[in-house]
Amino acid sequence: MNKLFFLPLLLLLGSITGFTTAPAVPTSKAAKKGAETIKWLTIEEAAAKMKGQPKKVFIDVYTDWCGWCKKMDKSTFTDPAVAAYINKHYYAVKFNAESKAPVTLNGHTYKYNPEYKAHELAVALLQGQMSFPSTVYLNEKMEMLSPVPGYMNAATISKILSFFGEDNHKKMSWQEYEKKH
């Protein structure tokens, strides 16, 4: 995969403070039947867990008004296989791109920018390509692997999750991986 695509933009995420957005609560039929659901964390909680047990980080960047974000919440993120895979291989974080709460990373505070109508951290995570929903993948050192824009069904996101979750991105390009799977 193109090295420029994997900018170490989020090295700063190692020392996270100040993020308090509450994770979403799943409401699907799968969740009600006792199937495994994604264990959503705040970015603070993920950073704290990284100290004891490093894992990759999966970030769902969403907005409250985004219909496709809501569809992913109700279908993709409630798929039991997707939830089980994310819980095993990642710390899952939800981040509202329009959050007003400041986030301090390594001494720099990211805030909501009213002119841009987005949180500065969302702009950094999405590398300025504001598209919702988007998912962001970080490695075990909280360094950027890749932002991935757009709605994804369970089958599509499962491929991407395993591409990064099993370090296939270190062995081959996405195009090669996609041909094999």
Q: Which domain CATH number covers 72?
A: 3.40.30.10
Asked if residue 148 lies in contact with residue 6, where contact means CB atoms within 8 angstroms, the answer is no
Tens digit of each residue's pLDDT (9 = 90 or more) over 46-89:
888 998 999 999 999 999 999 999 999 999 999 999 999 999 99
Q: Which residue has the higher pLDDT, 175 or 5?
A: 175
Tens digit of each residue's pLDDT (9 = 90 or more) over 101-150:
987 765 678 899 999 899 999 999 999 999 999 999 999 998 999 999 99
Q: What residue type is 105 in one-letter code? A: L
Q: Count the domains in the chain.
A: 1
Nearest to 145 by CA among 167, 172, 120, 115: 167
The distance in angstroms from the start CA to the end CA of the chain is 16
Domain range spanning residue 113? 3-180
